[in-house]
Amino acid sequence: NAGVTQTPKFQVLKTGQSMTLQCAQDMNHEYMSWYRQDPGMGLRLIHYSVGAGITDQGEVPNGYNVSRSTTEDFPLRLLSAAPSQTSVYFCASSQRGNNEQFFGPGTRLTVL
């Protein structure tokens, strides 16, 4: 039982490049979310999903896309990276009816 896994752990991009941050969980959780953590701002919700095929926007969705084709995976796509997207990204999952969220180890992204 690996819990919530995220790849890569570190990534450096140039402005304008695109990439996908991977997130997977093996706990059969219905809910999955993406957060970004910036210094002095805590964690902010980017997108979330309540099940396969269903996604919705969080507080800071601009510049990011998500899809949820399976229960296990919830990738986050940066379409055209910008320096403002330099951050640490956390994926989380939780079970319906249980508000405890399990967090992945994070991906540290730098956009030059």
Partner 1 sequence: AQKVTQAQTEISVVEKEDVTLDCVYETRDTTYYLFWYKQPPSGELVFLIRRNSFDEQNEISGRYSWNFQKSTSSFNFTITASQVVDSAVYFCALSDITGTASKLTFGTGTRLQVTL
Please tell me the distance from the alpha carbon of residue 39 to that of residue 22, in angstroms, as a whole number: 23
With CB under 8 A as the contact rule, the residue among 5, 17, 58, 61 that binds partner 1 is 58
Q: Residue 78 forms beta bridges with which residues?
A: 19, 64
With CB under 8 A as the contact rule, the residue among 13, 23, 31, 111 that binds partner 1 is 31
Least distance to partner 1, CB of residue 80, Å: 26
- 3 CB contacts (<8 Å, ≥6 apart)? 25, 26, 27, 102, 104
**Residue 88 near partner 1 by CB under 8 A:** yes
Residues that bind partner 1 (CB under 8 A): 31, 33, 35, 40-45, 48, 50, 56, 58, 88, 90, 92, 94, 96, 99-103, 105-106
